[in-house]
Amino acid sequence: MKRMHVHISVDDLAKSIRFYNDLFGSSPAIEKTDYAKWMLDDPRVNFAISRRGNKPGLDHLGIQVESDSELLEIRDRLEKAGLSMLTQTGTTCCYAKSDKHWVQDPCGIAWESYHTLDNAPTFNEAADDRPDNACCAPAQEAIKLIARKISGCK
């Protein structure tokens, strides 16, 4: 079996382990004082690249699901963990219409959980093909700010 490997440097290992336990719904297979590794069979990987004006490097990470029930399961897990979340319904991004839930890990890396509903003729809802129209990941603080507004928190 082939498996995609993603390694992220973090500031606070314990805080990051808690976040990823909640996101993945499982504990690390290996946990050391300076390292943790999850060996996940689900999800499989969807890898994409784009030239949309963002600084080169990691833009965001995601979990693509195949059904509304799988997306609901992830959303429920993130809500139960008390994570700030931005929900988008029927949004257009990366030439697809999707329902999404965005969270950020403790280092500010955006994670999207999404269910693709259909193809779309444009990269995003702005239908703007300029190279400076970056990918759809919310700005680093947008998830926390929008989630606070939705929940009525300051």
CATH number, domain of 116, equals 3.30.720.110
Q: From first to last of its 154 residues, what are the pLDDT tens digits of the chain?
A: 467 778 988 989 999 999 999 999 999 999 998 899 998 988 777 787 776 666 777 888 989 998 999 999 999 999 999 999 999 999 998 888 999 999 999 988 889 999 999 988 887 876 544 444 456 777 655 665 544 444 444 4
**What's the number of domains the chain is made of?**
1
Domain that holds residue 108: 44-151
Any domain includes 14: no
**Distance (Å) of CA 30 to CA 5, 6, 55, 87, 150:** 15, 15, 32, 32, 37
Any domain includes 38: no
Any domain includes 49: yes
Any domain includes 36: no
